[in-house]
Chain A
Amino acid sequence: MKGKYWWTLIGGIIAGAYGPDLLASKAVQKGLRYLTAGAIIARDRIMADSEKIQAAASDIAADAKEITQRYYDRCDEASKEFEDAVD
């Protein structure tokens, strides 16, 4: 609506006039420092979680391999018994 247009225009002018000074101010800088630090910590936590998943997946894969190996060994034994019986 037309009203929205005017508000957007005024908002843009104010932002353009005072925006850069605000962004360069000490307070905002300090806030941004902590914000960025928080973001980095969040990223590291996410990557740490992905490492945990990686380790767990590796364990699961190793166990699965062991289970299939035992399964195949049992199959081999069974077939050997069968061969012996046939003979």
Chain B
Amino acid sequence: MKTRVVHQSPGQLHIDLGKIRLSAEEADVLYYALTEQPGVHKVTVLPRTGQLVIHFDTSEIRYRDGIVRFLREMDIADPELKKLVPGVSGRATSEMYKEKLGTLIIKRYAKKLFLPAPIRAAMIIYNGAPFVIAGIKDLLHKKFSAEIVHASAILASVLTSDFPTADSIIFLTEVGELLEEWTYKKSVDDLARSLALNISTVWKINDDEAEPEMVNLSQIKVGDLIRVYVGNVIPLDGVVESGEAMVNQSALTGESIPVHKEPGITVYAGTAIDEGELTIRVTEISGTTRYDNIVNYIEASQSMVAETQSQAEKLVSRLIPYTFGTAALTYLLTRNVTKAASVLMVDFSCAIEVAMPISVLSAMREASGHHMTVKGGKYLELIAEADTVVFDKTGTLTKAVPKVEQVVAMNGRDEDTMLALAAELEMHFPHSLANAVVRAARERNVSYGIPHSKPEYIVAHGIVSVAGNDRVIIGSWHFVFEDEHTVVLPEDEERLHSIPAEYSQLFMAINGTLAAVICIDDPIKAETPRVIERLRKAGFSNIVMMTGDSERTAASIAARAGVDRYYSEVLPEDKARFVEREKAAGHKVVMIGDGINDSPALSAADVGIAIKEGADVAREICDITLAGAELEQLIALKELSDKLMVRMKSTGTLGISINGAILLAGILGLATPGTAALLHNASTILLCLRNMQNMIPPEEDYRTL
């Protein structure tokens, strides 16, 4: 497409596309296609003038040239590019609200300039009527809300023939409401989009084979059979063909108690399997990711409202009768209707009702800019109060890519064969240790060949399967030796005990005899000690590590990480029980996990945080999701939460003090009702705008700790 560079600055390109106007679809394609380009920081599309402003990274010349080349070569009608536009475009929503705001402002000044006074007065009465009616309704329901104060302010102005004041009150109230609606809608949209499904592959069962085949989600048609395993999300609507499972439907219905599913029962896209597995016949392949359901769920859940906010709102609604009392008192004392009216212009609850929700929503938006998804304002508040944080070791404190260092084969078995067998069984599980085994087998290019039965997963212990004629088990020391009473052949005893201690060990036994020990190195992340120290400084005084791993590995990692306490060989129930104990002792607990066996503890904690690469079940039931296993994000989260609390408090204080000053000015006659109304509404709007600012440094600053 035609491009002309209007202006160049370091890191910024201002481009004219030669078109007079861009339609919404064209603007969307441009925006989303450009944001994907390498090196692009921010794209601003100006659809009414056909221009683009692009901010990009200056560290490499190829970024700028790449952007210009992409624009010159792109075809705006290309369907491939259209795919990049999400179902509900955030850009289009912002554009819509910008237009509404612009229309509101232009209408007001156009009316002032062009319409004669009587018609203006009539329009003001017409526009103000809804507010007055709303206020009267609240009064009749004995609900003392801010609407009553607004209504009385408008009514008082109109009755005293002070139409300009009534006009300005109506206008500024409408602007405030629009800003609030905009922020709310944007936050809900962003949240819903990040909660929507991000699945790309699924196990498909072809009729003639018993083994499922991993295919791309887009290749599934209605009537196909798919299999979903424990810990994974059901990607499409369907009817259960075979199998049995307990399914967590909280993403759809909000209930966290799992629902039993068996053949014949319908299952829904977006729900996760807690236990068991299902073979499902697909009934619907539409591209919808249950977006509207998620939006409804978010709006219905009370977690959007922080406790502080609802407390402040309750407090302020108690003050409203006093506002009327003050107005009446002023009239009695001064016999001046004007002064009494100016008291009504000042509404204390305004700032709190409008500016506080905006600050909460803005914090949630800022968190998503750090690639964290916060599912409700309540959770930010809880994090600010929290002093205890519980980590899972594997994948959180240690690198998410544990590596198989050694395979020690016993009983005369061959190393590679044992590794291949282990890999075949572990392939079904989303645990990072399992992934390491699969990866190692792929690297050594070995495969087992003999079919095996579907492995049965015993939570936090290990897996059991039948391969050919052999019963194979893989798991921890506790599982393999103490539970299953595996025998070690005398000639292997010495080798067993000489295995280095710092590796995580997976024991594999065939038909009751130890067959191999797979040594996995789970190195601690380099930044972990520093991050733990920063976390302690940020306010977490009680940092706990819990892992199902052996005592030796846990102890060495714990010492290097610098945690306050650690627990090894932990079972999932223990994790949950520990969380409950801490809560009973009065602590607020934050739990971070990624595996299936973390779900009880994640639900029990005050705030459950899941890592994005973890099991889908964990991500479904958690309260906050961190994209990427970056511990630094925790620091950002804590700082953001603390700053949010400070901001909410200052909103309350500023709201009351500024409005109190205006009230005083009104009573003393220093300000007319018109001025009071203007000051009150303008200060509220400025407070809202301030609350929309970012509170913590951008993401890059946290990554370079």
Contact = CB atoms under 8 A, between A and B. Distances in A.
Nearest to B102: A47
Contacts of B6: 55, 59
Interface residues of B, number: 18
Nearest to A69: B10
Contact of B49 (A48, A62, A63): A48
A23 interface: no
Nearest to B16: A55
Nearest to B44: A58
Given A55-B46, A55-B51, A47 B99 contact: yes
B10 A66 contact: yes
Contacts of B51: 51, 55
Contact of A62 (B10, B48, B99, B106): B10
Interface in A64-80: 65-66, 69
B7 interface: yes
Contacts of B7: 59
Interface in B1-34: 6-7, 9-12, 14
Interface in B48-67: 48-49, 51, 53
A43 B9 contact: no
B9 A46 contact: no
Contact of B53 (A43, A46, A55): A55
B103 interface: yes
Contacts of A65: 9-10
A50 B10 contact: no
B106 A43 contact: yes
Nearest to A45: B48
Interface residues of A, number: 18
A50 B99 CA distance: 11
B9 A55 contact: no
Query: Which of B6, B9, B10 has most chain A Cβ within 10 Å?
Result: B9
A39 B14 CA distance: 30
B48 A47 contact: yes
A43 B12 contact: no
B528 to A, nearest CB: 36
A54 interface: yes
A33 interface: no
Given A47-B48, A51-B49, A62 B12 contact: yes
A55 B10 CA distance: 15
A46 B99 CA distance: 11
Contact of B103 (A43, A55, A69): A43
Contact of B9 (A44, A51, A52, A66): A66
Nearest to A47: B102
A58 B12 contact: yes
Nearest to A43: B106
A25 to B, nearest CB: 19
A62 B11 CA distance: 8
B49 A52 contact: yes
Nearest to A70: B10
B3 to A, nearest CB: 15
Given A43-B102, A46-B102, A46-B106, A59 B46 contact: no
Interface in B493-546: none
A58 B43 CA distance: 12
Contact of B48 (A48, A58, A66, A69): A48
A50 B44 contact: no
A59 B14 contact: yes
Contacts of B9: 59, 62-63, 65-66
Contacts of B14: 55, 58-59
A9 to B, nearest CB: 15
A65 B9 CA distance: 9
Interface in B93-134: 99, 102-103, 106, 110
B12 A50 contact: no
Contacts of A59: 6-7, 9, 12, 14
Interface string B233-271: 000000000000000000000000000000000000000
Contacts of B103: 43
Given A43-B102, A46-B106, A59-B7, A51 B46 contact: yes
B175 to A, nearest CB: 16
Interface string A16-54: 000000000000000000000001000110111011101
Interface pairs A-B: 5 shortest CB-CB: A62-B9, A48-B48, A62-B12, A51-B46, A59-B7
Interface of B: 6-7, 9-12, 14, 44, 46, 48-49, 51, 53, 99, 102-103, 106, 110
Given A51-B46, A58-B14, A66-B10, 9 more contacts: A43-B106, A48-B48, A48-B49, A54-B44, A54-B46, A59-B12, A59-B14, A62-B12, A65-B10
23 contacts: A39-B110, A43-B102, A44-B48, A46-B102, A47-B48, A47-B102, A48-B49, A51-B49, A51-B51, A54-B46, A55-B6, A55-B51, A55-B53, A58-B12, A58-B44, A58-B53, A59-B7, A59-B12, A62-B9, A62-B10, A62-B11, A62-B12, A66-B9
